Structure 1
Amino acid sequence: MTARIAVPAALPAYARLPLGFSVEPLQRALSDLPATAWQPHFNRDYFEGDWSGIALLAPADAPDSLLAGHGEPVATPLLEASPFWQDLLARLPGPIRSARLLRLGAGARIREHRDPDLGDDDGDLRLHLPIHSHEAVEFILEGRAIPMRPGELWFLDLSRSHRVENPSPHARIHLVLDCRRTPELLERIAAGLADTPPAQEARGTRQFALFRAAVHRDAELQRRLQAIDDAQSFAETAVALAAGIGLHFSEEDVRAAMQQGRRSWIEQWVI
């Protein structure tokens, strides 16, 4: 009898699944899709720049084809017309409830947020298959950059805090899948844990740490930061001051650091 892989008692934050895909066919199939098929993402509250998508498979009850729902999945006309995408979805661990191509344009960002429904005991499991990316793109999960590369299939627990930064001159495009939580898929996630590369410290986090060190050495920087009495102005000023000395991070990096439990920023910087 074949030994079964033990299903983890708790899901990991992320895992690269033991399943990969050739990048060139993915990119060719993507380029064959009409430019008019891309539609703006429904959630306008937490992104900047171009965040758009193409639905391939969507729940029948979803009010927007890019929005999750609970009904049975229905193939869109684009999927019905494409043997390539049909074959690809058939190879992926399922059952798949939604399949979307999501594009984050050059210079765009998705701000820090959570998708709490993915953390439910019966919630879907979200998988990402990068198709186009760039070394400057960072998918940051709980403060750590996940090292996803095109052609790899990843599980991400996005009920946890996450954000995406694309400072590159190129669009980042992933195939994003919401799959039902099955023992078979949980086993695939468990099987991917052993060789999953570790997440890295995010670039903005490193730059922010250098900025904090610079503030400790510079009384003028301390004075300017001490004059600020609200978090939003503090983040904006920190980003601007850092840029003036050649360091670059976002307001999201400042807010994320604050959310991780660090408080009394001004007091910490008084020498």
Structure 2
Amino acid sequence: MNRAAFSRLPVTVDLPLLLQALAAIGEDAWHGHFNTAYFAGDWSGVALISAADALTELSPGLGEPLLRAPWLRDGRWQQGLRDLPLEIVSARLLRLGPGGHIHEHRDYDLGEPDADLRLHIPLLSPPHVDFFLDGQRVPMAAGECWFLDLSRPHRVDNRDRSARVHLVLDCRPSAWLEQAIIEGLPTTPAPDVGAGALLQFQRLVAGDVELSKTLQGLADTEVFITRTLELAAERGLVLSREELRAAMRNGRRQWNEQWNA
């Protein structure tokens, strides 16, 4: 089945209750992510449910789902997810600290036939966190529930001063979940809005010295973004203002250097 790269699901979680449960977890419960080559900074987690045969509680496995201590000791986790008709085989809290980066990679196992479906529920979602999937920024807010096809290229940058924490669920495919992914909510961004157009515009700028000089001469960030949108529209390209803002958070110098590489 060909699914969308991402979809915001029409479900509700009890965010205040989940935040209470999160606050009850001590710092000593957090452990560094096992994929050490995939990130810089603090990327750590707490296992709530994981495979019995997993090498570590955060690692994948093929065994039966085992309920870990935080899930067993604090009923607020189950209560906070009570309205989700899901068969959960893995549940983890994943934290990306301030200044942390998850490098672009793919979770190839999620692309296998009959693979589990991964859902992200942001619990703490600072404004300056950028999650890119297939080159497109996914605007996930606290308390929402998103399906993400992470067998595709994805990366995360936390340029905020506070941590990002997601509750990540791996669920068995079901008719209800498949339909919820297909339908999504109207606020789910359309695929490739801004992402493909942005790449096209970057290529145009790279091949047009005058266009490049025009943009490099704009010192004010808001003027730069507005003028970029106008110049792209004149060329039939519709860019996303938020996509541009995310690129700006990567640094103006990197932005301009990329166009003139």
**TM-score w.r.t. length of structure 1:** 0.72
Q: Which residue of 2 aligns with 1:172?
A: 164
| Cα contact 1:46–1:111 (8 A) shared by 2 | yes
Cα distance in structure 2, aligned partners of 1:163 and 1:188: 24
Moved over 6 A (4+): none
**2:96 corresponds to which of 92, 104, 110:** 104
What's the offset of the Cα at 1:91?
3.4
**What aligned pairs does 1:1-271 form with structure 2 within 5 A after superposition?**
9-192=1-184, 194-198=186-190, 201=194, 209=202, 216=209, 247-249=252-254
**TM-score w.r.t. length of structure 2:** 0.75
Cα distance in structure 1, aligned partners of 2:29 and 2:75: 17
Q: Which runs of 5+ in 1 are unaligned?
A: 1-8, 220-242, 258-264, 267-271
Q: Which runs of 5+ in 2 are unaligned?
A: 214-247
| Cα contact 2:18–2:80 (8 A) shared by 1 | no
What's the offset of the Cα at 1:248?
5.0
Residue deviations 1:59-109 (CA, integer Å, cap 9, x gap): 111111111112111100111100101223443342111000000000101
Counterpart residue identity of residue 31, structure 1 = A
Cα distance in structure 2, aligned partners of 1:74 and 1:89: 18
Q: Provide the secondary structure at the position in 2 that maps to 1:10.
A: coil
Aligned length: 220
Cα distance in structure 2, aligned partners of 1:132 and 1:138: 13
Q: Percent identity?
A: 45
Deviates more, 1:73-82 or 1:14-23: 14-23
| Cα contact 1:113–1:161 (8 A) shared by 2 | yes
Query: Judging changes above 3 Å, is the alpha-carbon distance between structure 1 residues 186 and 172 closer, same or farther for their aligned structure 2 residues?
Result: same
